[in-house]
Structure 1
Amino acid sequence: MPSCPATQSASPQSDTMKSSGAASSCCSNNTQSEGSAIDHQTASVSDCMQLSWIITGMDCPGCATKIENAVNGLNGVTGARVTFATERLLVKVDNRASIHDGINSGINSDINSDINNNILKTIRELGFSVKDDVAHEPVADSFLKKYWHIISLALFMLVAVLIQGTFPVAGNVLFYLATLWGLYPVATKAWLLARSGSPFSIETLMSIAATGALFLGETVEAAMVLLLFMIGEHMEAFAAGRARQGVQKLMALTPETAFLIDRDGNKSAVSADTLKPGDIIEILPGSRLPADGELLTPDVSFDKSALTGESVPVEHNPGEIVMAGSLSVDRVARLKVISKPGESAVDRIIRLIEEAEERKAPVERFIDAFSRWYTPLMMFMAVLVAFVPPLVFAGPWVEWIYKALTLLLIACPCALVISTPAAVTSALARASRNGALIKGGAALELLGSVKTVAFDKTGTLTEGKPAVTHIASFGRSAFYPESMSEQEVLRLAAAVESGSAHPIARAIVARADEMNIRLPATSEVEAKAGLGVQGQVEGKMVVVGSPRHLQDSIDTVAGAQQTIEQLEEQGNTLAMVTVEGDLVGLIALRDNPRTEAQNAIAALKAMGINSIMLTGDNPCAAAAIASQLGMEYRSGLLPGDKSTEIERLKEKGRVAMIGDGINDAPALKTADIGIAMGSGADVALETADCALTHNRVEELADLIGLSRSTMAIIRQNIFLAVGSKALFLVTTLLGMTGLWVAVLADTGATALVTANALRLLRNKKKG
């Protein structure tokens, strides 16, 4: 079978959905379709196609699991994943022939319409829905559609109560009818869930309990149980929506349209998802940036509070990178797009949040496993309660069956299941709002138990903007018979460093630009992490590296070692320059500590956390920075040495490593938890478990404090959930509580643990 094109247009035309028209590898990053009635994307490759929707109506992570189980059981589906935080359903299907034929036909055919319709039908049968276009949905209709079953059931019961005193039989009949009316959607959903692989759902428990109550003649309680259950579900949905608000606001940051500037300077409005790297766009004051861009307009202030938590707008200069979602405050700005569709800063953040749900905290994994056997066990206990006392001890059947039905409602694990993810979701939302990305509950849990934080120096504790303070030439060499000038030393070094993004390299090139030095062409450039960079310049091999790396060349030049020591004692970092192995000069640079670094170290110390700086810099420069910040340090470390030092520190407790460079990646991976600075190298961001997008190390203490608060709330929630179950288990067996009290207690416990978790969203940063 011929393979499908990697990129092709496809537009399924069913009456239930609209396609974004984009097709790409199902394993690649997805872009979100906006402006359609339903967010839906189709992607195709030779062996699979990926569909995605935005699902509404999920009130806890358990709902996401139910949808996954149901969709995974459909024919043609090879995999389904639901992200609770972003309400996104991703489905992979294997149907190469229909995709290929549909694409090559060049018409808008119903590609995989059977699979699409089956997925949508299954979702709706389970009580969930695909997100409608709110711009075309009247508010009144939306409210009635959402609450009409609760309202009608409540009215049914109200009428029954009003007439029961005068006409008892009629009132009792109305309660029967009210129960059946409330039972229909619950029982239907329970049946569908059981067929799709979720037999022990809360809907199943409620259906059994309500049906049993009807047979026992407890019509009022049966109807009340269903009403309280429906109200509780909507309370959970409301709480879940609050927890997702931070993510939803993030998803809405990038605009749908952009103003594109063509080569002639003409401006036209285009769809934001058509922008590509190199395009020139213009944004007006009060507008947000649709893609990551390089600023072309001078002195423009951007409000990035929604992305990084920056409290005030930040002024940017031409050449600086501005993230998508940033808001232009004071003037019209032009930028050059640097991100591909679906790969902007906002897209990466959303993708990290989606991936975070797969990285559950250990306590969350334990509760998931516990809840899987807890409900079946409680159902088994209910059966024992219903049959053992009457059969063995001649107890009254009605009384013990009633107690068994109450136990079924106690068996509902909703409060326990939501206790952890509600807190984790709230914490992740608050962290992202304040400019910190945490890749999952596992990383969040680990943060709170950290005993030592290891810091990289350059760009983490320092500003990452070293400036050249001194240039020295060591006179003649075999390749330069005449005395080499300091300008020539800088010219050679800048030529080799011109392609590097390292802060030291940028500083050397910047000094050459200030002196209007024209740089020669280079070739065979090779960077060695922690050591230096080398390349061919005018037919000669030029190396710019650390004194440690070039010690053999230093030893051949009289007085060089003494000069190096004097400059290092002044807190300088040195870049030695050799030509074909001969030392020709050096460049001294100094990088100042970040203004907030000292406060960050002090805050960590107040929390009982030790701080240590790990750097490849010389001991004198490292000591100068460490003494200003009041912390320990290890100097002269290569990337491998940093990992070894992390391993040694881990013997005393959990270690977090924070850095921003390529050479930090091994140490970030070795640490119990790696934290990357947001402006750092991509490899550091990918390796790390957390990222500080605002580059403020002072937020680290708040992040650890958030982790500790989250774990405290999780423990409180588990106590509330399990404690309430234990309490009502005892009171039920003693005959003190009945059906409606049990469901009210379960709903109340769910509301309590959710409200407790939402406190994390209200936590404010100190000071």
Structure 2
Amino acid sequence: MGELIEKRYRVGGMDCAGCAAKIDTAVRRMPGVEDVAVSVTAGTMTVRHDGTSDLVAIEKRVTSLGYSVAQLAGRSQVDAPSACCGHHDHDHAKHDHEGHDRARQEQATDALEGLHGHDHAPMAGPWWQSKKGRLTILSGAALVVAYAVGHLIPSIAPYAFVVAMLIGLVPIARRAVVAAFAGTPFSIEMLMTIAAVGAVIINAGEEAATVVFLFLVGELLEGVAAGKARESIQSLTTLVPKRAFLEENGKTREVPAEDLAVGSIILVRPGDRIAADGTILSGDSTIDEAPVTGESTPVRKGEGETVFAGTVNGDAALRVKVTAAAADNTIARVVRLVEEAQESKAPTERFIDRFSRYYTPGVVAVAALVAILPPLLAGGAWDEWIYKGLAILLIGCPCALVISTPAAIAASLSSGARRGLLLKGGAVLETLGKVTAVAFDKTGTLTEGKPQVTDVIAFGQDEAEVLQYAAALETGSSHPLALAILARAAAAGVTLPTVIDAKAIGGKGIIGTVEGQPIFFGSPKAADERIPLSAEQRHRIAALNDDGKTVSVLVVGDTLAGAIAMRDEPRDDAKTGLEKLTEAGVKTIMLTGDNRRTAEAIGRQLGIEVHAELMPEDKQRIVSELKRDGLIVAKVGDGINDAPALATADVGIAMGGGTDVALETADAAILHGRVSDVAAMIALSKRTMRNIVENITIALGLKAVFLVTTIVGITGLWPAILADTGATVLVTINALRLLKPAT
């Protein structure tokens, strides 16, 4: 199959998964359309077609169903479905992209539109200005007039109520007919139309008009609730400023942030939001990264460090070199990722979708039997049982049931994104709650990923002099160990003397002359060759090595001056994060390619099982063995060296601060790099699954109650419609509770 063309639309007026299903079914039947993906929470539709499709006809088809539609800028060619899902070849459902991988350029264009206010969704603004709002108000006014006319002139009351009913029902019936011809005969609009017309036939025109009005009120409430859920992630886009101060030719001028190109240099004043992802060229300031990473404490950053669009500069001016265009900055990618994830259905959601296909026709059949069998077999009154059958039609609407899962998942994905926890779809979210083992990489995951000075030891001189001479020799070096020593010296405020004739000795260390004295700084073995180490000194160095530390010895003249020990230290929250997982009953292990001594030292410190000196294929093998033992495995790593293990695990989680790898390689990403966020992800998943169970219980429970009360004659048509729309609103509100952090 040749290349397909992908086109995205902004769709207005969608309230629930039932709306999405109608649009999907209708558009999928259009000539040339290969695949359709509709997201209620994002308010978008993506159509993949072979180039022969009539896009105008597609738009008209969606409009005829009662929704507004507007093309989003950008058009891209994508591979045919056979090439889909190229990230990982997993044998489970976590990459359920439904055949519609996003082309990167179009993603960037869409994200840019969202960032700068070009959201064409007509539902924006007060509810009373929307099309549904105006129709609801008109229907309500007509119902009030009908009651007034009926009170004044009782003889024409039935006709007044029929007119009031038709004002609201005609648009509903038109949508029902269009949906039926487009492949969805059992839509809620069709059930509503049948019930209202049937009520008029059995002389229940007053109730018919009331039910139509209540139906419109319910739809309006659903729209407001859906809008709240949609805004929860889209509100992130408002964090990025629309203007930036660009430096060019020694001058600064204000420009639109969307015009910033990679390589541009911008000035960020104290208190301003940073307009683009970038690297600090000059300046030192505290940065509030809460909008991107969820970190509540501002982080101090200086020259060479990375900053993200939407974060807030604190107390000093910064010059920043732009590393990503506005359409591809961290915020835009987070929004795009979450919207895309919302279109990826969880196993529970797919089951509910399949169930609803049989459920609605089943309800219609039950309603027909209730209306017909008692009069035929038991001599019941036709009017009474037809009335009950019509009420059952309304009770049986599957809207609340269908929305129960996607509403919770959308809210959960949005909540996670706000805390720096990115999950690629409902399948990943659902699987996380079942995880029973987590395999961590060491370097950059459990540890900071860069060595730090842990010990400064004095042998023949004091510690300050040892640090001073060692740092002087390492000046200008870019080696990680040298950078660690220089950072420690800078933090201690050490003044570095001038070094003459400094040069490296391969595999041994570095020599030079400081203040007229020859200085050597290098391995203990090389230092021992110059001046023999004492037994006590050897013992102390060996103890440091056993703790996984790298030790370098300083020789000044003919004296063993001291030693400096360095190690890649665990993250501040690593021990706490692992303890949280253990308390939750999750097994934790470390898989690392580092040497066994260093790995075991870190393992002892953190209390985690260690597997060291592993090749990538060894990590993959161990993950496979854990899965064969019946464990649900999450692999946490950097997304590059751990790629085979990440792909093999049930869930691959990348640690990182908003890099391409962290956002795009694995199934999930932890932006802030906190080990404790792994436990937070699992807790969020469990909380979401509990919410879904609550939603399904609400949806089916209310229907069951009203089904019984209708059959025994306690409730009628208007309570039935309240049962449907009320359940939908309750389910949505319950799902929105997930937007709040767990207490």
TM-score by length of 2: 0.77
Which of 126, 144, 156 does residue 65 from structure 2 map onto?
Answer: 126
Unpaired runs of 5+ residues, structure 2, are: 71-117, 457-469, 491-495, 505-537, 553-563
Q: Deviations over 1:303-343 (max 9, x none)?
A: 22122112132221111111222222334432111124532
Partner of 1:276: 261
Partner of 2:77: none
Task: Tell me by how many angstroms 1:148 deviates.
Answer: 1.8
1:647 to 2:603 alignment: no
Partner of 2:610: 633
Which has the higher relative contact order, 1 or 2, with Cα contacts under 8 A spaced 6 or more apart? 2
Task: Tell me by how many angstroms 1:295 deviates.
Answer: 1.4
Which of 346, 351, 356 does residue 366 from structure 1 map onto?
Answer: 351
User: Given that residues 656 and 662 in structure 2 are in contact (C-alpha distance below 8 angstroms), is that contact kept between their aligned partners in structure 1?
Assistant: no
SS in 1 for 2:282: coil
- Measured in 2, the distance between the counterparts of 1:136 and 1:601 equals 47
Partner of 1:67: 23
Task: Tell me by how many angstroms 1:360 deviates.
Answer: 1.9
**Any residues of structure 2 matched to 1:376-525 within 5 Å, and which?**
376-467=361-452
Task: Tell me by how many angstroms 1:246 deviates.
Answer: 2.4
Task: Tell me by how many angstroms 1:252 deviates.
Answer: 2.8
Amino acid paired to 1:623: E
Which of 36, 39, 45 does residue 80 from structure 1 map onto?
Answer: 36
Task: Tell me by how many angstroms 1:77 deviates.
Answer: 4.6
Which of 143, 168, 185 does residue 129 from structure 2 map onto?
Answer: 143
1:607 to 2:566 alignment: no
**Any residues of structure 2 matched to 1:171-320 within 5 Å, and which?**
171-262=157-248, 264-320=249-305
Which of 318, 324, 334 does residue 333 from structure 1 map onto?
Answer: 318
Task: Tell me by how many angstroms 1:461 deviates.
Answer: 1.4
Q: Deviations over 1:504-538 (max 9, x none)?
A: 89869999x99999999xxxxxxxxxxxxxxxxxx
CA separation of 1:291 and 1:65: change in aligned 2, threshold 3 A: farther
Task: Tell me by how many angstroms 1:165 deviates.
Answer: 3.4
Q: Deviations over 1:573-607 (max 9, x none)?
A: 699xxxxxxxxxxx985111111112112222222
User: Given that residues 127 and 224 in structure 2 are in contact (C-alpha distance below 8 angstroms), is that contact kept between their aligned partners in structure 1?
Assistant: no
Q: Deviations over 1:448-497 (max 9, x none)?
A: 122222221111111222147899xxxxxxxxxxxxxx99x999xx89xx
Partner of 1:620: 597
SS in 2 for 1:217: coil
Amino acid paired to 2:219: E
Amino acid paired to 2:40: F
User: Given that residues 12 and 121 in structure 2 are in contact (C-alpha distance below 8 angstroms), is that contact kept between their aligned partners in structure 1?
Assistant: no
Task: Tell me by how many angstroms 1:397 deviates.
Answer: 2.3
SS in 2 for 1:282: strand
- Measured in 2, the distance between the counterparts of 1:120 and 1:376 equals 28
Partner of 2:570: 593
CA separation of 1:516 and 1:394: change in aligned 2, threshold 3 A: farther
Partner of 1:724: 702
- Measured in 2, the distance between the counterparts of 1:73 and 1:344 equals 37
SS in 2 for 1:255: coil
Task: Tell me by how many angstroms 1:301 deviates.
Answer: 2.6
Task: Tell me by how many angstroms 1:727 deviates.
Answer: 2.4
Partner of 2:340: 355
Q: CA RMSD in A?
A: 3.8
Q: Deviations over 1:622-648 (max 9, x none)?
A: 222222222222222222222222223
User: Given that residues 246 and 433 in structure 1 are in contact (C-alpha distance below 8 angstroms), is that contact kept between their aligned partners in structure 2?
Assistant: no
Task: Tell me by how many angstroms 1:125 deviates.
Answer: 2.9
CA separation of 1:191 and 1:285: change in aligned 2, threshold 3 A: farther
Amino acid paired to 2:712: L
Task: Tell me by how many angstroms 1:179 deviates.
Answer: 0.6
- Measured in 1, the distance between the counterparts of 2:721 and 2:503 equals 77
User: Given that residues 568 and 618 in structure 1 are in contact (C-alpha distance below 8 angstroms), is that contact kept between their aligned partners in structure 2?
Assistant: no
- Measured in 2, the distance between the counterparts of 1:138 and 1:243 equals 13
- Measured in 2, the distance between the counterparts of 1:652 and 1:205 equals 46
Amino acid paired to 1:379: V
CA separation of 1:384 and 1:705: change in aligned 2, threshold 3 A: same
Amino acid paired to 2:45: L
Task: Tell me by how many angstroms 1:744 deviates.
Answer: 0.8
Which of 46, 56, 60 does residue 90 from structure 1 map onto?
Answer: 46
- Measured in 2, the distance between the counterparts of 1:354 and 1:339 equals 20
Amino acid paired to 1:83: S
Partner of 2:516: none
CA separation of 1:303 and 1:62: change in aligned 2, threshold 3 A: farther
Task: Tell me by how many angstroms 1:683 deviates.
Answer: 4.5
User: Given that residues 132 and 220 in structure 2 are in contact (C-alpha distance below 8 angstroms), is that contact kept between their aligned partners in structure 1?
Assistant: no
1:736 to 2:714 alignment: yes
User: Given that residues 662 and 681 in structure 1 are in contact (C-alpha distance below 8 angstroms), is that contact kept between their aligned partners in structure 2?
Assistant: no
Q: Deviations over 1:647-670 (max 9, x none)?
A: 233315222221225222222222
- Measured in 2, the distance between the counterparts of 1:761 and 1:643 equals 35
- Measured in 2, the distance between the counterparts of 1:516 and 1:604 equals 53
- Measured in 2, the distance between the counterparts of 1:258 and 1:332 equals 13
SS in 1 for 2:66: coil
Partner of 2:519: none
Amino acid paired to 1:734: V
Task: Tell me by how many angstroms 1:691 deviates.
Answer: 0.8
- Measured in 2, the distance between the counterparts of 1:61 and 1:518 equals 70
User: Given that residues 661 and 680 in structure 1 are in contact (C-alpha distance below 8 angstroms), is that contact kept between their aligned partners in structure 2?
Assistant: no
SS in 2 for 1:403: helix
Task: Tell me by how many angstroms 1:219 deviates.
Answer: 0.8
Q: Deviations over 1:273-310 (max 9, x none)?
A: 33332122233444433332111231133222122112
CA separation of 1:518 and 1:326: change in aligned 2, threshold 3 A: farther
SS in 1 for 2:436: strand
SS in 2 for 1:59: coil
User: Given that residues 573 and 617 in structure 1 are in contact (C-alpha distance below 8 angstroms), is that contact kept between their aligned partners in structure 2?
Assistant: no
Q: Deviations over 1:105-151 (max 9, x none)?
A: xxxxxxx9xx4543443333322235787999996896365522111
CA separation of 1:505 and 1:723: change in aligned 2, threshold 3 A: farther
User: Given that residues 443 and 673 in structure 1 are in contact (C-alpha distance below 8 angstroms), is that contact kept between their aligned partners in structure 2?
Assistant: yes
User: Given that residues 13 and 123 in structure 2 are in contact (C-alpha distance below 8 angstroms), is that contact kept between their aligned partners in structure 1?
Assistant: no
**Any residues of structure 2 matched to 1:676-687 within 5 Å, and which?**
676-679=654-657, 682-683=660-661, 685-687=663-665
1:342 to 2:327 alignment: yes
SS in 2 for 1:691: strand
CA separation of 1:510 and 1:720: change in aligned 2, threshold 3 A: same
- Measured in 1, the distance between the counterparts of 2:503 and 2:260 equals 34
Partner of 2:723: 745
**Any residues of structure 2 matched to 1:21-32 within 5 Å, and which?**
none
CA separation of 1:349 and 1:685: change in aligned 2, threshold 3 A: closer
- Measured in 1, the distance between the counterparts of 2:123 and 2:594 equals 62
CA separation of 1:140 and 1:65: change in aligned 2, threshold 3 A: closer
Partner of 1:568: 545
TM-score by length of 1: 0.74
